Structure formats: structure tokens, C-alpha cells
Amino acid sequence: MLTRDLTEHAIIAVSTSAGKDSQVTLDRVCTLAREQGVLDRVVAIHCDLGRSEWAGTKALAQEQCDIYGVPMYVISRAKGDLLHQVEHQRKKWMGPGSARFCTSDHKRDQASKVITQLVTAHNMKLWGRATAPKGTPPVKVLLCLGLRAQESRERAQEPVFKRDERASSGVRQIDRWLPIHDWTTEQVWGKIRETAMPYHRAYDLGLGRLSCVFCFYAPEEALLLAGYHNRPLLHEYVAVETRIAHQFKHKEPLIKIQAKLEQGWMPPVGVAAGSAATWMECGGGY
């Protein structure tokens, strides 16, 4: 089990999507912080995806944070939600790599704004000014993410701890830590059962991930499940897909998902929580 000295960081930020990996990461970080006497340095960041995320996600993230007495900062993209960006700005859907602007624009960049606010507040408390005196070392921030090696080959190769040079500056030093990188899905669910922490109902419906309702990484089974339980949102996505003349997923247009549902597709019976469909999750809000 991964551990770390948290006392060297002035700010400890947990990025939370309210998903299973985020909530277990929150538990792990808060447990360590309490043991080390720095629980007061822990905050959570939730990047609100608006229409694109499952109903109740933000409220659940807040409930999970309240259990540990951790303040949660909520932020969303000021220039519009994901569907607005796709239709009116990008004119196309997301994709792997650099085309995954759902993560970069709506999660990573937004979380960075909150960290800037936290660093400013820290300096105000310490120095009475937004920036520290010249020559003062940068504020050390530990960003904790619920990414796990088991999720994908790409994530298995992620370092457990690294300096985020892109996000760091002379004012702040951002270190990224993956507290549950070596955990299995079974260990994650075991911890949730042990702590009796509330989790999202989407898992009980059979989904293996709590990312956007409709994720381009998701297999057909997951898209059908999501569409079955979110018909109005599916209609919105299909309408955008039609207007921009660009398929949501290569060879997997959402209009095809909509058609299967209209033809009477039904969810499988007796599916265990979180077992029906898995894919790489953008995860943890960053």
C-alpha cells in the first residue's frame, strides 16, 4: 500500500469526481493526513461537468467530503459546458490523446485555477499579500489523483509521484501523487464496503466507471446502459451529433445507440454493481 510524508506540502488537494477511485483516494489521503497531523491542509476539487455528468454527482462528492470534514471547491468551465463547446467551438467530438479536450479543458485547466486560488489564499494568510516576498520558496502543493495501474497500459506506466513542471512556477510547486495506483478494483470496492461510504447509483445500474454519462472510451454496452437511464440527455447528444455531422465515437454514432434503445434494448438482469462495463476512465477530475 502506497504511503507518503504529507507534512512537506502546505496544500494537499484531492481531485474528486465522486467515483469509486476518487472516494477511496479521499479516504486514503485523509487517513494519512490525520495520522500525520495535517488534515487541516487537505481540500478537494470537483470539476463540475454540468449536463455531461450523472445526476447527483456533485452532491455526492460533497457528501463524501463532509464525512471527512474536508472543504470542497467546485469549478466549471466559464465558456460553456462540454456539449456547448463541441457544437459551437470545436465542431467535433473528443478523441484519444491531444483530442481529449474534455479532460484538458473541463478538468485539468479548471483544477489549476482552484490551485491558483488556494496558493493565493495561503500567501495572504502567511504574508498578508497575494504573493510571497521575493526569494521565498514556492508554495508546495500535493495533487492527489485516483488513477490506477489496472485501468490501462497507459496508466500502469504513470509514475506514482512526479513533479508537474507544466503547472509549477516560481510561485508554486505542484507535485502529483497517485495514492491507490497499485490497488485492484476488488480492493477499491472492499474499502468502500469497509468504510460504508456512499457511492453513486450508476455502479448499481451496472456501469464500471463514473465518468461522463457518455464517454468516447466506453464500449457499446456501457453507452446503451447510460442511454437507457438518461434518455433526454442522449437525445441532446444525438441532436448535436447530427448538427455538427461528426460521429461521437468512430464507427459508434450515438444515433445508433438511440436506435437500439428505441427497438427495445433492455439492461441485463442481475448485474453486480460496477461489473457490466469497464473502460479507461478520465478519472479524478484531472
Question: What is the Cα–Cα distance from 232 to 243, expressed in whole angstroms?
Answer: 17
- Residue 57 domain-assigned (yes or no): yes
Q: Does the pLDDT of residue 265 top 50, yes or no?
A: yes
Going by pLDDT thresholds of 50, 70 and 90, the confidence category of residue 271 is low
**Domain containing 97 — which CATH number?**
3.40.50.620
Tell me the mean pLDDT in the region 243-265. Answer: 94
- Residue 258 domain-assigned (yes or no): no
Q: What is the pLDDT of residue 175?
A: 98
Tell me the mean pLDDT in the region 46-64. Answer: 96
pTM: 0.92
Tell me the mean pLDDT in the region 245-265. Answer: 94
Going by pLDDT thresholds of 50, 70 and 90, the confidence category of residue 284 is very low
User: What is the percentage of the chain residues whose pLDDT exceeds 90?
Assistant: 85
Provide the domain count of the chain.
Answer: 1
**pLDDT 10s digits, 209-233:** 898 999 998 999 999 999 999 999 9
Q: Which three cell numbers stand for residue 230?
A: 438518461
DSSP 89: I
Instruction: Scan for cell 441485463, then name that residue.
Output: 268
Q: What is the pLDDT of residue 261?
A: 98
**pLDDT 10s digits, 189-210:** 999 999 999 999 999 999 998 9
Going by pLDDT thresholds of 50, 70 and 90, the confidence category of residue 270 is low
Domain range for residue 45?
Answer: 11-177
- Residue 150 domain-assigned (yes or no): yes
**Residue 106, Cα to own-chain centre: how many angstroms?**
10
Q: What is the pLDDT of residue 97?
A: 75
Q: What is the pLDDT of residue 276?
A: 46
Question: What is the Cα–Cα distance from 217 to 121, expressed in whole angstroms?
Answer: 37
Among candidate residues 281, 285, 160, the one with its CA nearest the CA of residue 215: 281
Q: Does the pLDDT of residue 285 top 50, yes or no?
A: no
3-state helix vs strand vs coil in the chain, percent to 5: 45, 10, 45
- Residue 56 domain-assigned (yes or no): yes
**pLDDT 10s digits, 63-83:** 999 999 999 999 999 999 999
- Residue 265 domain-assigned (yes or no): no
- Residue 165 domain-assigned (yes or no): yes
Q: Does the pLDDT of residue 282 top 90, yes or no?
A: no
Among candidate residues 40, 14, 11, 12, the one with its CA nearest the CA of residue 27: 14
- Residue 50 domain-assigned (yes or no): yes
CA dihedral 63, 69, 71, 77 (to 10 degrees): -20
Gyration radius (Cα) of the chain, Å: 20
Q: What is the pLDDT of residue 274?
A: 53
Going by pLDDT thresholds of 50, 70 and 90, the confidence category of residue 250 is confident
Question: What is the Cα–Cα distance from 42 to 26, expressed in whole angstroms?
Answer: 9
- Residue 248 domain-assigned (yes or no): no
